[in-house]
Amino acid sequence: METDLRLESSLWIGNKRYRAVLTGWHLKWTEADKKNGDKKTVSVPVAEVVGVENGRVEILPQKSVEDTDKDFTVFYIKRSRSRSTYGLLWSLGRTQFSCPSRVLRDQWTNHLRTALKTHSPLRPHRLLVFINPFGGKKKGREIYHSLVAPLFELAGISSHVIVTERANQARDHLLKKDLTGFDGVVCVGGDGMFSEVLHGLIGRTQQEAGLCETDPAVTLQPCPLHIGIIPAGSTDCVCYATVGVIDPVSSALHIIIGDSQPLDVCSVHHASTLVRYSVSLVGYGFYGDVLAESEKHRWMGPLRYDYSGTVVYLSNRSYAGIVQYLPADPLLSSPKDKTRCLSGCNVCSRSTERLFPHTSDSGSLYSSHFSQYSNDSEGEWVSVEGRFRCVSITCMSSSCARSPLGLSPSAHLADGTGDLILVWDTHPLSFLKFLYRHTSTQDQFDLPFVEVHRVKAVRFSLPDGREEEVHEGIGELNRAIEEREYVDTVSRNGSQQQLAQSVVERETMNEHKTVASILCGLCCKKTPAVSVWNCDGEILPFTEIFCRIHGQLVRLYARGIEDGAAMQNCSQESDKNKSRCITYK
Ligand SMILES: Nc1ncnc2c1ncn2[C@@H]1O[C@H](COP(=O)(O)OP(=O)(O)OP(=O)(O)O)[C@@H](O)[C@H]1O
């Protein structure tokens, strides 16, 4: 809805005269000296104005300022399509305006700056930035200083930058240090770096609330600080799934304008221990084996995943297990409804109302309504037992450049549920068909050996007697794994300090044997009895786990995937509350 007109005058861009109008919500300019039919209007939402500067200013690739009395420059978000990605790329648009007088120039810049404050209440002022200098191609520092810092400076954001010197430094900082005055935390790196920040912020929030995060029955408190991701890793899946592109400038612009995307988080427990948090994949069987295998070939770089995928596929394994799950309300959505969770998703918005029933303004979501956070009432658990090629739980579509629709194309980012995908033992060619469908638009769930369920919690256990089998004949391998510093890998950016205490110590030895048996299978070509869990790219030290989905536990500086086609479809609908979830082909 447009508010009252705020400012209108003639302005010049180059030697052309324009009629410029600033309403509460939009800055528009229309060429004045053209016939009505030929007039084109450029309209920029105030919420997407990045900054307003006096004079004729450029920012990228280098800052230059021509300080003139009658000019001002407006920076704003421009969108373009990228052939290789599903979402839209954002870049910095710039228009230099000339006014007839300095007084009018000052009026424009003051009005625009006031409009920005009024209409973008979630814009950050101060950010804590962690850069992993070793993530991906080791370009984190360069990416931040050349592409991101100039944009933050333009937007008036001050940042405290920490270049990490060791794994888990960001997590430990967030758990222990004073965070007063920060609006958000930015990680420059890949999914591992994001995971560190996720664990640190969730842990800190629960500490301050006096909640015991290890207890799976406890309803965790949402984090008050937003997380921004500047992609600079070798795997940037969380960024891809929440922004739609892997592009540091797009991500920086989402941070600057204070976009806010809630995200569900899955807590993974073993007995009374919190093992890890996950946002994308908790996978047993194929995905666990591929990760375990790839750890042996780190020297190959990202190619190790292709290599390990082939090795594991050829070893043709399935695993026995008991899966119990708590289904989500089928009336709200379904993993097979062929919709996509896109920016402004209606299912997620309705979930916000359900999870935080007394909140009307998302900006105040975490400040004043903690006590209103309500848990869905428990339903009936369902139990299945058999042999599985893989068991996967995902809180989001987990789309990535290789699998543009992801593991579960209709999963939602913030509806308080996860999707449980069960792939029963099947012929190798049928399993290959399932895997191949992830790279195309064919429905990977439309296969007789695949089940998918929308769930709130999942429990996985081994059939009686399996543990015995696991522990046979693995003494040698245990030693080999210790040499490979497996223990370090597991705890590298894993659970909080307080989690891995006595229970872990006692059980870890047994569980290492489980992992050993996997690696044993791969080296000795003997089929192991159990697989391992791959939790967002880390191997879990336990086989029997309990997973619970926590609705909208964190917020990212993102807005979900913007899709041009979807926006066009929706703009043709008259209903104000239309769904932004479109049908995919
Ligand atoms: N200074 C550092 N030295 C070593 N490791 C670090 C450092 N800073 C962060 N890490 C760790 O590096 C791991 C990988 O980082 P990141 O996700 O940024 O890059 P990546 O290339 O995508 O990694 P990967 O593909 O191996 O997950 C993270 O788990 C993080 O804990």
Residue 304 sits in a domain whose CATH number is 2.60.200.40
For residues 243 and 298, membership in a common domain is answered with no
Q: What is the DSSP letter of 60?
A: S
Q: How far is the CA of 191 from the centre of ligand 1 (A)?
A: 8
Shortest-distance atom of ligand 1 to CA 189:
18
Ligand 1: residue whose CA is nearest its atom 25: 234
Q: How far is the CA of 229 from the centre of ligand 1 (A)?
A: 14
Cβ of residue 140 lying under 6 Å from some atom of ligand 1: no
Q: How far is CA 481 from the centre of its chain?
A: 32
Cβ of residue 87 lying under 6 Å from some atom of ligand 1: no
Ordered per-residue pLDDT tens for the chain, 585 residues: 444 558 999 999 998 999 999 987 899 999 887 776 677 899 999 999 999 999 999 887 778 888 788 999 999 999 988 766 677 899 999 999 999 999 999 999 999 999 998 888 889 999 999 999 998 889 999 999 999 999 999 999 999 999 999 999 999 999 999 999 999 999 999 999 999 999 999 999 999 999 999 888 899 999 999 999 999 998 899 999 999 899 999 999 999 999 999 999 999 999 889 999 999 999 999 999 999 999 888 788 778 888 999 999 999 999 999 999 999 999 899 999 999 999 999 999 988 888 877 655 444 443 333 333 344 456 799 999 999 999 999 999 998 878 888 999 999 999 999 999 999 999 999 999 999 999 988 999 999 999 999 999 999 999 985 554 554 433 333 333 343 333 333 333 333 433 333 333 434 444 444 444 444 444 455 678 899 999 999 999 999 999 999 999 999 999 999 876 544 433 333 333 333 333 333
Domain that holds residue 138: 126-259
Q: How far is CA 21 from the centre of its chain?
A: 37
Cβ of residue 494 lying under 6 Å from some atom of ligand 1: no
**485 lies in a domain?**
yes
**584 lies in a domain?**
no
The catalytically annotated residue of 71, 183, 191, 289 is 191
Q: How far is the CA of 186 from the centre of ligand 1 (A)?
A: 15
Q: How far is the CA of 14 from the centre of ligand 1 (A)?
A: 48
**467 lies in a domain?**
yes
**573 lies in a domain?**
no
Q: Cα dist. 215→219, 233, 273, 508, 516 in Å?
A: 9, 32, 7, 19, 28
Ligand 1: residue whose CA is nearest its atom 19: 135
What is the spatial distance between Cα 230 and Cα 246, in angstroms, rounded to a whole number?
Answer: 9
What is the spatial distance between Cα 421 and Cα 440, in angstroms, rounded to a whole number?
Answer: 18
Cβ of residue 139 lying under 6 Å from some atom of ligand 1: no
Query: What's the token pair of residue 92?
Result: 């910095």
Q: How far is the CA of 197 from the centre of ligand 1 (A)?
A: 12
Shortest-distance atom of ligand 1 to CA 132:
8
Q: How far is the CA of 234 from the centre of ligand 1 (A)?
A: 9
**500 lies in a domain?**
no
For residues 227 and 303, membership in a common domain is answered with no
For residues 315 and 406, membership in a common domain is answered with yes
Cβ of residue 233 lying under 6 Å from some atom of ligand 1: yes
Cβ of residue 294 lying under 6 Å from some atom of ligand 1: no
Shortest-distance atom of ligand 1 to CA 164:
1
Ligand 1: residue whose CA is nearest its atom 10: 167
Q: Which residues contact 377 (CB under 8 A, 6 or more apart)?
A: none
Q: How far is the CA of 195 from the centre of ligand 1 (A)?
A: 10
Q: What is the pLDDT of residue 272?
A: 85
Which of 130, 143, 193, 496 is the best mutation target for the ligand 1 pocket, counting ligand atoms within 8 Å of the beta carbon and taking the most? 193
Q: How many residues does the chain have?
A: 585
Which helix or strand (DSSP H or E) is residue 88 part of?
strand 88-98
Ligand 1: residue whose CA is nearest its atom 12: 167
191 is known as an active-site residue: yes
Ligand 1: residue whose CA is nearest its atom 14: 192
Q: What is the pLDDT of residue 545?
A: 97
What is the spatial distance between Cα 429 and Cα 20, in angstroms, rounded to a whole number?
Answer: 63
What is the spatial distance between Cα 351 and Cα 329, in angstroms, rounded to a whole number?
Answer: 12
For residues 450 and 329, membership in a common domain is answered with yes
**276 lies in a domain?**
yes
Shortest-distance atom of ligand 1 to CA 233:
22
Shortest-distance atom of ligand 1 to CA 196:
31
Report how many domains make up the chain.
3
Among 226, 259, 292, identify where a domain stops. 259
Do 200 and 175 meet the contact criterion of CB atoms below 8 Å apart? yes
Among 213, 235, 259, identify where a domain stops. 259
Q: What is the pLDDT of residue 402?
A: 80
For residues 313 and 425, membership in a common domain is answered with yes
Q: What is the pLDDT of residue 234?
A: 84
Q: What is the pLDDT of residue 528?
A: 81
Which of 129, 130, 131, 134 is the best mutation target for the ligand 1 pocket, counting ligand atoms within 8 Å of the beta carbon and taking the most? 134
For residues 246 and 296, membership in a common domain is answered with no
Cβ of residue 214 lying under 6 Å from some atom of ligand 1: no
Give the closest residue to 137 by CA, choosing from 204, 39, 236, 233.
233
For residues 395 and 299, membership in a common domain is answered with yes
Shortest-distance atom of ligand 1 to CA 194:
17
Which helix or strand (DSSP H or E) is residue 390 part of?
strand 382-394
Cβ of residue 352 lying under 6 Å from some atom of ligand 1: no
For residues 109 and 147, membership in a common domain is answered with no
Cβ of residue 189 lying under 6 Å from some atom of ligand 1: yes
Cβ neighbour number for residue 30 with a 10 Å cutoff = 15
For residues 287 and 168, membership in a common domain is answered with no
Q: What is the ipTM of this complex?
A: 0.97
Residue type, 115: A
**565 lies in a domain?**
no
In CATH, what number is assigned to the domain containing residue 19? 2.30.29.30
Cβ of residue 165 lying under 6 Å from some atom of ligand 1: yes
Q: How far is the CA of 305 from the centre of ligand 1 (A)?
A: 17
For residues 429 and 454, membership in a common domain is answered with yes
Give the closest residue to 533 by CA, choosing from 321, 262, 259.
321
Among 119, 149, 182, identify where a domain stops. 119
What is the spatial distance between Cα 224 and Cα 129, in angstroms, rounded to a whole number?
Answer: 16
Residue 285 φ then ψ, to 5°? 90, -125
For residues 106 and 153, membership in a common domain is answered with no
For residues 246 and 284, membership in a common domain is answered with no
Q: How far is the CA of 541 from the centre of ligand 1 (A)?
A: 19
Residue with tokens 């101060």: 126
In CATH, what number is assigned to the domain containing residue 238? 3.40.50.10330
Query: What's the token pair of residue 447?
Result: 């296969």
Cβ of residue 534 lying under 6 Å from some atom of ligand 1: no
Q: Cα dist. 389→152, 283, 321, 451, 537 in Å?
A: 47, 11, 10, 12, 18
Cβ of residue 262 lying under 6 Å from some atom of ligand 1: no
Q: How far is the CA of 134 from the centre of ligand 1 (A)?
A: 6
Shortest-distance atom of ligand 1 to CA 190:
17
Q: Cα dist. 108→2, 19, 47, 113, 527 in Å?
A: 19, 13, 16, 9, 72
Cβ of residue 430 lying under 6 Å from some atom of ligand 1: no
